[in-house]
Amino acid sequence: MQNKIPPIVLPKIDFNREFAFSDQDFDRVRQLIYKEAGIALNPTKKDMVYGRLVRRIRELKLASFSAYIEFLQSIAGKQEFEQFVNALTTNLTFFFREEHHFQMLGEHLKGLAGKGELSIWCAASSTGEEPYSIAIAALEALGGSPGRAPVQIVATDLDTSVLEVGRKGIYSADKIARLPAGYAQRYFDKLADGNYQAKQQLRDMISFSRLNLIDVNWSVRKQFDAIFCRNVMIYFDRDTQLSVLKKFHPLLKPHGLLFVGHSENFYFAADYFTLRGKTVYELAKVKR
């Protein structure tokens, strides 16, 4: 009996693109971003990945996606990994997104007034609109004067480019237009080019630094009165989500609140957190 020779299966390639991008290339990208950032890219995101990484390939003057991936995994490509992660992370944000969270935060902080230094961690700060919204909500709830802010805010993100935007605190007029009435005048200075910059008082309340939520060890170790981690864990698989939530648990004070995104539900972490309100969690009263 003659043995059948198995057919040769070639990688699927779209030759209409500027650079060849095979399914194998896409799978390697998915593996790398999962390992580095915990992001579980949906198999349908191939076109998005191409669009975001093709600029890096042009910039580096490489011939193909496979050459780019090989470069990433080489010693010479270590610094490029930061650009790779920055390109594939999503940074959709705006001031006072999910406004009910800031109302609840204000009430929470009022209840803690006079009980010592208050601190908040914004664990996915993106370009800074969220930590500045937190700072404004704190000032509105507790008052405060320059040099005597009522709350200190730690703002972290994986993407170094958005952290630099946050540090500067400069935003276009259309972004500032999303602020509640009167806040632009109170908390921002209009610049000569038509943009707006957060007043020094706000900027002094916030410290920006890089942190990868899937790292084994975090540089953040203090306990917080509130933690915001919104619309980032939706990109993690459940095991990664639970790992991050377990690490949040000891960093939240007994009365603290964890604010998450509108589409995030962590019922599977009931040993650590219980639902307090709409997408707001508190520490589980009794750990099973």
28, 56, 157, 230: which is the annotated catalytic residue?
157
52 counts as catalytic: yes
55 counts as catalytic: no
The label of the residue with tokens 């589409």 reads 263
If we measure between CA atoms, which residue out of 267, 250, 179 comes closest to residue 279? 267
How far is residue 225 from each of residues 40, 101, 115, measured CA to CA in Å?
30, 14, 11
- The stretches of the chain forming alpha helices (DSSP H) are 23-37, 46-60, 65-72, 80-88, 99-112, 129-142, 160-168, 173-176, 183-187, 200-205, 238-248
Distance of CA 58 to the CA centre of its chain: 27
The label of the residue with tokens 């209840």 reads 111
Burial of 245 (C-beta count, 10 Å sphere; 0-12/13-18/19+): buried
User: What gap in Å lies between CA 158 and CA 236, rounded to an integer?
Assistant: 14
What DSSP string runs through 74-129? SGGGTTHHHHHHHHHS-----TTSSHHHHHHHHHHHHHHTTSS-EEEEESS-TTTH
How far is residue 3 from each of residues 8, 9, 108, measured CA to CA in Å?
15, 18, 73
| Residues constituting the chain | 288
User: Could you tell me if 188 and 196 are in contact, meaning their C-beta atoms sit under 8 angstroms apart?
Assistant: yes
Show which residues are catalytic: 52, 157
